[in-house]
Amino acid sequence: MTTVYVADTGVFVRCGGPDNDKFQRLRQALRQTDTSLRIPQRVYEELGGDPVADEYPSGNIPYPDGFEEGWIVVADELNYANPLVSTIMDETRRFIASETDRDEDSIEKADMALVGLAAQLLDTGRADHVVLLTTDKPAGGAAETLLPQHGFTDRIEFRYVSVKYLETITADEFR
Amino acid sequence: MAQSPPQSGQPPIQQLQTVADLLETPALARIYAYILQHGPTTVSEIIDEIDIPQGTAYDYVQNLETAGLVQKTREQRPYEYDAESIALTLSADGETQTITPALIAAVARREEDTDIDVYIERHGLDGLATVLEYAHEYVDGTVNHRITARELDLSPLEAEIILQALEPVATEYADAAA
């Protein structure tokens, strides 16, 4: 059984800066279990893309340490030629547009990428089970609703990353 | 049929003055927010719960009472106080903002949460009021940081930072916004 953990931007913001206990707990839990978090390319771009964010304590995210130590990994590019991946991404856009009462055109590709990556990991056999760690409730809902409709029943789990979740996280979370 | 109590019992422009003080003085805002959520309460309870010097707490409660934003609900010592909810809607140049208890509570957190403080420095109190509405939706699961970023012209990272910072306020005042 291979479980792959996909993480969104909100997980790292929630860590609250390098001196914060939450960051160290997450790091320790991952290192103890030799687990890495996969992040889609678009999440990687969000994390590093805004110098203004450095003004905020929670914007001072030491994610480069995670790459260096191997517990954050940028995931493979999405294969849009895979019909399942592209279908799931289209469905995700519609799902989130409906949940948020927005136009489909206003749904960001990063949201679709999270669910698309989960689909790709399951479809290619890279994962038997995917855990999506995010603060994005519409995207989490899309993953849990849409993937089972394509046969991945009980193989996707959305975990909402609250303050409490990170304050109490241990290695058990990744076993 | 019972009538709803008058909001603070003060005329709008007079109320505006007190509300301006609340927005400028985080410690005053914290006391108001505490009484609103936990009242009726005593000043010594407030001092126990929030880190404010005793003298300041007594002065500020007095100010709020004089302004009509809190009322004594027990006339014997120890006095107890309860707060009236405020909703002050302001319009200027075609833009409208409502100053709500949730906004006061958000401002009250700026001293302990630097993320909120930086956001106010960058986007002003109007910016904070706007993103607070998104924070309510974020808690409900009807918006995410990426949509917020696009609609408010922020980076996704900045949007996620402020939405997480406001999440406790949006959660605590969920009923008030409904």
Residue B62: give the domain boundaries.
12-83
- Regions of chain B where pLDDT drops below 50: 1-6, 177-178
- Domain tally for chain B? 2
The verdict on a CB contact (< 8 Å) between B142 and A101 is yes
**Whether pLDDT at A154 is above 80:** yes
- Which residues of chain B have a CB within 8 Å of the CB of A101? 142
Shortest CA distance from A103: residue in chain B: B147
Are both B75 and B59 inside the same structural domain?
yes
The tokens describing A5, both together, are: 């953990």
The verdict on a CB contact (< 8 Å) between B115 and A101 is no
Are both B125 and B99 inside the same structural domain?
yes
The verdict on a CB contact (< 8 Å) between A59 and B156 is no
Q: Tell whether A17 is within 8 A of chain B (Cβ).
A: no
Tell which phi-psi region holds residue B93, choosing left (phi > 0), alpha (psi between -120 and 50) or beta: left
What are the pLDDT digits (tens) for A99-134? 999 999 999 899 999 999 999 999 999 999 999 999
**B177 CB neighbour count, 10 Å cutoff:** 16
Residue A70: give the domain boundaries.
3-174
Instruction: Select the residue from B114, B157, B163 to test the A interface by mutation, using most A Cβ atoms within 10 A.
Output: B157
- Domain tally for chain A? 1
Shortest CA distance from B137: residue in chain A: A100
Q: What is the CATH number of the domain that holds A20?
A: 3.40.50.1010
Residues paired with A39 in a beta bridge: A74
The verdict on a CB contact (< 8 Å) between A59 and B147 is no
What are the pLDDT digits (tens) for A30-69? 999 999 999 999 999 999 888 899 999 999 888 899 999 9
ipTM confidence score? 0.96
pLDDT, residue B9, reads 63
Q: In sequence order, what E strands does chain B have? A: 70-74, 80-83, 88-92, 95-99
Are both B69 and B100 inside the same structural domain?
no
Residues of chain A with pLDDT > 90, as a percent, come to 87
In a domain, B4, yes or no: no
In a domain, B3, yes or no: no
What are the pLDDT digits (tens) for A72-97? 999 999 999 999 999 999 999 999 99
Shortest CA distance from B139: residue in chain A: A137
